[in-house]
Chain A
Amino acid sequence: MTTESAVLEEPVVKKQELPEFELVNLTINGQSFKLKLQPWVSLLDAIREYAGLTGTKKGCDHGQCGACTVLINGKRINSCLTLAVMRDGEAITTIEGLSDGVVNHPLQDAFIEHDAFQCGYCTPGQICSAVGMINEGRANSLEDVQELMSGNICRCGAYNNINAAIMEVKSKMA
């Protein structure tokens, strides 16, 4: 071993050390994923590139748009600003986990009915965020919804329809 590394040593360029791989257990939409990841992998990239669930979107990678919103233990977060290793053992819900393929979450149906999107790219984040907002129980009026959904940018400008969809679902739940 020692001899070998001596032979391979390159004097000109210093070998840069790369982060160690770690086993990260994520439960995504009830399914267990055991992923071998380096600590520099964001939760967003872990979900998309390593677990292969591409419903969650990257819109800015800096917590400035909300497209990557997922739920961790029912709370909405920006998955781009947390490392997957920090979330070891946690239960994550993404857009794919809100519908069982037959029955949608009421928000998903309401989004279609109210045309609460155009390009659809921010939509998974909007819906996850709305689920998280309803869990929080602080949105009591349209004005509250406007403020508490402001962490999700929709460049197509579907806000009025997003709010209509959310208000409808909220009124049915009440």
Chain B
Amino acid sequence: MNSFSYNKAHDVAEAVADIQEHEGARFIAGGTNLLDLMKENVMKPAHLTDINRLDLADIKENEEGGLTLGALVTNADTAWNERVEQRYPLLSKAILAGASPQLRNMATNGGNLFQRTRCYYFYDTATACNKREPGSGCSAINGINRIHAILGTSEHCIATHPSDMCVALAALDAKVNVTGPNGDRTVEFGDFHRLPGNTPHLDNNISQGELVTSIDLPPSNFTKNVFYLKVRDRQSYAFALVSVAAALDLEGDVIKDIRVAMGGVAHKPWRRREVEESYIGKVASTENFRALAETMLTGAVGFGGNTFKIELAKRAIVRALNEALKSGENL
């Protein structure tokens, strides 16, 4: 871990000012990923701005009729919030599929969006990694890539985004509220994270001095037929090889609306609205789910160790949608 200076900010303005004042500064909230990476010398912020005392720890009703999740509400408090459980069960389930109870008690909603990849090479400074050290090369492409991306990869990076929460947020059309030296702005969830392209060192479209203050959830009809499937190498406390956030809004057995987002397969939560839309009005059946899954995986490329994920992801989509279909029956 490098040497750094540290300040506690007491309000948003102070936090934004503090980070501007220090070169190479980072915000710290839960710290669960940042400190992990600092101990590995992967991230070396010269300054930490502690934002834990900011007044961003509420879950509130928003004007649209949905909920706004404060950036500093912990993952646990979000998942187990009664309103979230009732109105956004998909989000609740996704959060609870991630990390461990202890980590969920520390990690914040804002911080979760900034979680960095679990790529072995990113974590090991003895190896080449374009995300950690631009231009050094990608070791994973010809290396151990069982956990790596199959969609949206580039020749520079095949890392995945590790979050479960973000997969559900993507499915639910969340919006991220950001503030910074140039004022406030709102980012559609689909625009929040980036694909690696030529700039794999950039995980998202938020600039250094900007602070996520909250996440807006629009009103949602996906309260019954939802399922979060996490396929992993052990039953808990492991990152997803493939995860699927599946939600159905049904009229009889006909799809009124559908959401399918995938985790563990790309540099960002993977969702294709146009594919979802093409199934509106169709029957919720295994055949249709499989056809949808095939389309979702269009363009998927494997790198040897992770090639199995292409078929696995398709099966996971079918399973998640079938479970979502069934979960409505139990209610």
Query: Which A residues lie at the B interface, using CB under 8 A?
Result: 16-20, 22, 39-40, 42, 61-63, 66, 69, 75-78, 80-83, 85-86, 129, 132-133, 136, 138, 146-148, 150-153
A residues in contact with B76, CB < 8 Å: 75, 136
A-B contact pairs, 8 of them (CB 8 A): A17-B3, A18-B3, A62-B39, A63-B32, A75-B76, A83-B48, A151-B99, A151-B103
User: CA of A82 to CA of B50 in the docked complex: distance in angstroms?
Assistant: 11
Partner of B101, one of A82, A129, A146: A129
Verify B50–A86 contact, CB threshold 8 A: yes
CB distance from B298 to the nearest CB of A (A): 35
Number of interface residues of B (CB under 8 A): 28
B residues in contact with A138, CB < 8 Å: 80
B163-176 to A contact mask, C-beta < 8 Å, 1/0: 00000000000000
Most buried by A among B28, B39, B100: B100
Verify A150–B237 contact, CB threshold 8 A: yes
CB distance from A133 to the nearest CB of B (A): 7
**Is B6's CB within 8 Å of the partner chain A?**
yes
CB distance from A49 to the nearest CB of B (A): 15
Verify B80–A16 contact, CB threshold 8 A: no
Verify A151–B4 contact, CB threshold 8 A: no
User: CA of A16 to CA of B4 in the docked complex: distance in angstroms?
Assistant: 11
**Is B235's CB within 8 Å of the partner chain A?**
yes
CB distance from A23 to the nearest CB of B (A): 13
Verify A62–B36 contact, CB threshold 8 A: yes
User: CA of A4 to CA of B51 in the docked complex: distance in angstroms?
Assistant: 39
3 residue pairs, one from A and one from B, having the closest CB atoms: A151-B100, A150-B236, A39-B6
User: CA of A148 to CA of B99 in the docked complex: distance in angstroms?
Assistant: 11
**Is B214's CB within 8 Å of the partner chain A?**
no
Interface residues of B in 26-63 (CB under 8 A from A): 28, 30-32, 35-36, 39, 48, 50, 52
B residues in contact with A18, CB < 8 Å: 3
A residues in contact with B144, CB < 8 Å: none
B residues in contact with A62, CB < 8 Å: 36, 39
User: CA of A80 to CA of B1 in the docked complex: distance in angstroms?
Assistant: 13
